[in-house]
Amino acid sequence: MTPQTPVRSEATQRPFGNGRSVSLFTLGTMRALAGPEQMAVVLRAALAAGINHLETAPAYGPAETFLGQGLASLAAEGLGPHGGWRITSKLLPLGDLEAGRRQLTAILSRLGIPRLDSLAIHGLNRPEHLEWASHGAGAELLAWALGEGLVGQVGFSSHGGNDLIEAALATGRFSFCSLHLHLFDQTRLPLARSALAAGIGVLAISPADKGGRLYDPPPELLADCDPFHPLELAYRFLLDQGISTLSLGAEQPQDLAWAAALAGPAATWLSPAHRAALERLAAAGRERLGPERCGQCRACLPCPSSVPIPELLRLRNLAVGHGMGVFAGERYNLIGRAGHWWEQSNAEACRHCGDCLPRCPHQLPIPELLADTHRRLAAAPRRRLWG
Ligand code: SF4
Ligand code: SF4
């Protein structure tokens, strides 16, 4: 199933913090890394899809260099979005002020631009990262960058817990944030709504990939979402929530097909037919999981052995409830291998102490379900996923 809607030349844009408005979709540049030619091809497709916001980072290898070259080649042909590209790059939360200055200067040099629209702290995942960004060298760096006019606004991306994200937003230092917001992982949606209400821009990190490999859905998921594609439903759900922009890491022009199809203004993002499909999808998951469905309420925490119970049982929900075992297996096998970007303990850390049992409102046999999660997912292939 592929999108049928023709490409539009004018895209709907949304406010993004204190910066210029951005397109509904943001081109992530971490996948078009074969060379500047590939990046230019993807840039052209993004332009045709109504995209004006680009996201990159030094951590994406040669992405910034290729992006700078791709932008120059499009500019030489007079190609670019109305009002120019909006560009966001990101810096890891470490190092002193001087190192940060050098990094930002190098970013601008690689991109061939005098100023970034938006600079994000890349992976504000731990309390020490927030300390660095709000009181340490990071705070000095951000103030310097804003004061010098080298960046238009500052924000952060985070894979951390809700408490940390809430604390970061509450500092008032950040104008935008990039969060994991997905149809199949809605735990951060209340935070996103609060941020939007406060005028903070919100980018959803890769709903297609991190949201469940929805570009390659399993048969169960396709059937449950029929007549819509799961990715279309996921995108429409997030747009209906008012999320500022959805990131999409394209490797080839076809990867931008849904972005092109959904680029134009819409009277409503979720028609009655879309809402009915979402309800059928949820009902199918509930039916397959039966009484073993984890409701994601987090009442079982804290676990004395630091088992991330809700996160692990969410993966089980996806595998059993929606046939998404490949995605769940990838995520499960990354545990303990991705530093502060993902969980540190898998289901084997459960010591069967039973502390969590009386706290679960659904009376779930948590240790048994964790063991089942490990049996189902531990042997699946793994890959490194950037945030
Ligand atoms: S039974 Fe396992 S998951 Fe539950 S609190 Fe004890 S160690 Fe943690
Ligand atoms: S308390 Fe029960 S339903 Fe809630 S997140 Fe924990 S295991 Fe899931």
Tens of pLDDT, residues 89-134: 999 999 999 999 999 999 999 999 999 999 999 999 999 999 999 9
Q: Check residue 387 and give its pLDDT.
A: 41
Sorted by sequence, the CB contacts under 8 Å of residue 307 that are 6+ apart come out as 345, 347, 349, 350, 370
Residue spans of the chain under pLDDT 50:
1-2, 4-11, 380, 382, 384-387
Give me ligand 1 centre to Cα 335, in Å: 17
Q: Check residue 9 and give its pLDDT.
A: 36
CA dihedral 255, 37, 66, 121 (to 10 degrees): -10
Q: Give nearest CA residue, ligand 2 atom 4.
A: 297
The CATH number of domain 13-263 is 3.20.20.100: yes
In a 10 Å sphere around its CB, with 0-12 CB exposed, 13-18 middle and 19+ buried, how is residue 73 labelled? middle
Contact, 92 vs 138, CB < 8 A?
no
Pocket test for ligand 1, best of 294, 306, 309, 344 (most atoms within 8 A of CB): 309
Give me ligand 2 centre to Cα 312, in Å: 10
Q: From the CB of 310, is ligand 2 less than 6 Å away? A: yes
Assigned token pair, 82: 């109305």
Q: Check residue 338 and give its pLDDT.
A: 76
Question: Length of the chain in residues, anyone?
Answer: 387
CA distance 36 to 63: 9
CA distance 179 to 176: 10
Residue ranges covered by each domain of the chain: 13-263, 293-377
Give me ligand 2 centre to Cα 287, in Å: 18
b/e string for 289-328 if b means 16 or more Cβ within 10 A?
A: beebbbeeebebeebeeebbbbbbbbbbbbbbbbbbbbbb
